[in-house]
């Protein structure tokens, strides 16, 4: 929803409510105005000092799971999306002896979202269990901050 008091500052607040045609138009105008902020990301992020490590339970074998049955159309869509992710540098070819099946999930706009079924891997993964921080403590840490950043939610799943 675009709140009238926010329009002058250029801030747009979205909610789960349906948007009117005027609101959709306003969002489109803002996206066009700030299109440099919505550019596609190419490649994986640079290596960091701390890398994520997946530890497996005991000597659990990693199995190469079979593919799910798909129609020719779905198979073509999966190949197209995999090729796109390869070209963007988001994924890279692997010669691993294990793998997880993929499936397509329909988006609200009619497009497809590719999902990897990692349930078998998750079952043999040692879970990192940490207590979640208190939200009020996190907000207190922001006191006096001058700069803030945001999460990239455009391609949040890959």
Strands (E), 15-133: 102-106, 112-116
The pLDDT score that the predictor gives to residue 10 is 46
How many whole angstroms separate alpha carbon 158 and alpha carbon 152? 11
3-class state of residue 72 by DSSP: helix
Tell me how far the alpha carbon of residue 65 is from its chain's centroid: 23
How many whole angstroms separate alpha carbon 116 and alpha carbon 101? 6
Q: Taking the model in full, what pTM does it have?
A: 0.58
In the predicted structure, residue 40 carries a pLDDT above the cut 80 = no
The pLDDT score that the predictor gives to residue 66 is 83
Mean pLDDT of 83-97: 86
Task: Please report the domains of the chain, with CATH numbers, ordered by start residue.
Answer: 1-39 (no CATH), 40-129 (3.10.10.10)
Highest mean pLDDT pick, 38-42, 58-62, 101-105: 101-105
């Amino acid at each position: 929803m675009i709140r009238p008091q926010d329009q002058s500052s250029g801030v747009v607040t979205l909610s789960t409510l349906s948007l009117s045609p005027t609101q959709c138009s306003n969002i489109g105008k803002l996206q066009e105005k700030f299109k440099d902020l919505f550019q596609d990301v190419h490649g994986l992020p640079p290596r960091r000092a701390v890398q994520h490590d997946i530890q497996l339970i005991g000597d659990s074998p990693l199995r190469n799971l079979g593919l799910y049955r798909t129609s020719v159309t779905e198979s073509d869509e999966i190949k197209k999306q995999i090729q796109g992710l390869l070209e963007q540098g988001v994924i890279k070819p692997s010669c691993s002896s294990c793998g997880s099946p993929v499936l397509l999930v329909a988006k609200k706009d009619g497009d497809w979202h590719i999902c990897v079924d990692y349930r078998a891997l998750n079952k043999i993964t040692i879970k990192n269990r940490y207590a979640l921080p208190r939200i009020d403590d996190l907000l207190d840490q922001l006191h006096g901050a001058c700069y803030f950043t945001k999460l990239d939610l455009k391609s949040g799943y890959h």
